[in-house]
Amino acid sequence: MNTLLLDSDDVDEHAALAAVIDAVEQAFGAFERGTTQMPAKSYIDLPQYNGDFRSMPAYLDTGDWDAAGLKWVNVHPDNPADHGLPTVLGTMIYSDPETAFPLAIMDGTTLTMKRTGAAAAVATDYLAVEDASSLGLVGAGVQSYTQLEAISEVRPIEEVVVSDPDDERVERFVETYEDRFDVRGGSISEAGHCDVLSTVTPVEDPIVGLEDVGDQTHINAIGADAEGKHELSDELLGAARIVIDDHEQCTHSGEINVPYGEGVLTDADIHGEIGELVVGAKAGRTAETGVTVFDSTGLAIQDVAAARVVYENARETDSGYDFGMIDTDQ
C-alpha cells in the first residue's frame, strides 16, 4: 500500500472546483450536525526566525463519506526577501480514518486557496441574489483569482470589477480573465456595488464602508485571518446580515473580531453559522434581506474535504508520485 505525493500542480489540476464546493458544503453541514472533530488550531511561535507554525487537524463524517487529515502551515514574513521562499508554506497529510494510513501528502498552499474560494462560493449560493451576474474584488492578490473561479461556479458572473492600489496586479488580473469575463479595474465603491463582493486584503483599518456597497450586495470577507485585521466598517457590519463559519475563530481572528472585542457587535448581531444555512436551521437570503456578509476564517474540515476531492481525482487518473513510505510487510 503506497502513499501518494501531490505537488502544487497536481492539487491545482485535481481540485475540481465544483466538486470542492460540494465537499466544503457537506463539511459545513457535518459541522453543524456535530459529526466532526476539529481541535483548536495550535501554534508554535518562533520569534528568533520571525515566524510560526500552525497545526490544523480534523475529522468529518458527512454520512456519505468520512475523512481525516492534518494541515501543517506556517507564516514566515522574511522568507521572500531572505530565502526566496513564500511567506506561507502548507503541507496537507490526508489519512484513512479507519486505519490511519497516510493516503496522501500534498501541497497545502494551493489546497488552502481552493477551499477558501469554495467556502465563499457556498456562502454566495445561500446569500447572494439568485441572478447575481457581477462580482467585485477588493484586492488583486492570488486569492482573488480563486474567488472568481469559485463564485462563477454558483452564479452566472459576467461583469468583474477589481480594485487594488497596485496597478500592475490589476493589469495582470484583467489580462488573465479578459477573454472570459467583462473585467476591468475600478474603485472600491465600484467593486462594492456589484451583486457579490469579495474582500481579500490584509488591512487593519476598514476600507469598505456602507456607502461603498449596493442595497443587496453579498460580501465575502476573506482577508481577516488574525486578531486586529478588519476590512469592513463597523457601520457596514451593523447594517448587514452576518453569517460566520465558526464563532470562536471569527470572534478571535475573523472580520468581526475587532468590533466584537470592543462590544460594538454582539452575538445578537450574528445571524448564524454557515452550517446552519446548509442544514436549513437558519434562512439564507429572503426577499427582505439587504446587505449580507460571510465572515470566513477557514476551517480545518474544509481542508480535509478538499483534500479528499484531490486524492480521489488523482487516484482515478494515476497522477502524482506513488511511494512506499510505510513498511506494510509486517
7: CATH? 3.30.1780.10
Provide the pLDDT confidence category of residue 224 given band limits of 50, 70 and 90. Answer: confident
Helices 300-316 and 17-33, packing angle to 10 deg: 140
Could you tell me if 260 and 145 lie in one domain?
yes
> Does one domain contain both 209 and 259?
yes
Max intra-chain CA distance, the chain: 66
312 shares its domain with 278:
no
State the distance between the two ends of the chain, measured CA to CA, in whole angstroms: 12
Residue 326 has pLDDT above 90, yes or no: no
pLDDT digits (tens, 9 = 90+) for 104-140: 999 999 999 999 999 999 999 999 999 999 999 999 9
**Mean pLDDT in residue range 180-184:** 98
Query: Catalytic: which of 41, 71, 114, 282?
Result: 71
Question: Taking residues 276-301, what's their average pLDDT?
Answer: 96
Q: How far is CA 21 from CA 24, 25, 28, 306, 320, in A?
A: 5, 6, 11, 8, 22
pLDDT-derived band at 40, boundaries 50, 70, 90:
confident
pLDDT at 87: 87
CA pair distance 317, 269, nearest whole angstrom: 47
Q: What is the CB neighbour count within 10 angstroms for residue 100?
A: 10
* Per-residue pLDDT, 225: 81
- Cell for 270? 450574528
329 within some domain: no
CATH code: domain of residue 124 = 3.40.50.720
On whether residue 265 sits in a domain, the answer given is yes
- pLDDT at residue 330 in the model: 57
Q: DSSP class of residue 84? A: S
| One domain, residues 283 and 305 | no
pLDDT at residue 308 above 80?
A: yes
Burial class (CB in 10 A: 0-12, 13-18, 19+), 13: middle
Q: Which residue segment(s) compose the domain that 38 sits in? A: 3-111+300-322
Measure the CA–CA gap between 316 and 298, rounded to whole angstroms.
28
- 90 labeled part of a ligand binding site: no
Are 161 and 185 a contacting pair, CB within 8 Å?
yes
Same domain, 189 and 176: yes
What is the reported pLDDT for 74? 93
Q: From CA 267, how far away is CA 256, in angstroms rounded?
A: 11
**Nearest in space to 215 (alpha carbons), one of 136, 291, 285, 288:** 291
Residues 198 and 217 in one domain: yes
User: How far apart (Å, rounded) are the C-alpha atoms in residues 114 and 68?
Assistant: 18
Tens of pLDDT along 58-93? 999 999 999 999 999 998 999 999 999 988 899 999
Which grid cell is 119?
A: 467556502
Judging by DSSP bridges, how do beta strands 321-323 and 3-6 pair with one another? antiparallel
Q: Is 41 annotated as a binding residue?
A: no
Q: Both 213 and 261 in a single domain?
A: yes
To the question of whether residue 212 is assigned a binding role by annotation, the answer is: no
Q: What is the pLDDT of residues 47-57, one digit of tens each?
A: 999 999 999 99
330 domain residue, yes or no: no
224 is in an annotated binding site: yes
Q: Is 71 a catalytic residue?
A: yes
The two beta strands, 196-199 and 270-273, are: unpaired
Q: Is residue 59 domain-resident? A: yes
Query: Residue 96 has what pLDDT?
Result: 98
For residues 175 and 280, membership in a common domain is answered with: yes
Q: Are residues 68 and 166 in the same domain?
A: no
Cell digits for 305?
A: 474535504
Number of domains making up the chain: 2
**Residues 172, 276 within the same domain:** yes
Strands 292-295 and 270-273: unpaired
Q: In this model, does residue 327 exceed pLDDT 90? A: no
8-state DSSP, 232:
B
Query: Is residue 241 a known part of a binding site?
Result: no
Please tell me the chain's helix, strand, coil percentages from 3-state DSSP, rounded to the nearest 5.
40, 25, 35
Give the strand pairing for 218-221 and 196-199: parallel
Contact yes or no for 251/99 (Cβ under 8 A): no
Taking alpha carbons only, the member of 146, 167, 165, 123 closest to residue 273 is: 123
Average pLDDT, the chain: 96
Query: Do the domain assignments include residue 238?
Result: yes
Same domain, 243 and 284: yes
Whether 92 and 127 share a structural domain? no
pLDDT above 90 (res 286)? yes
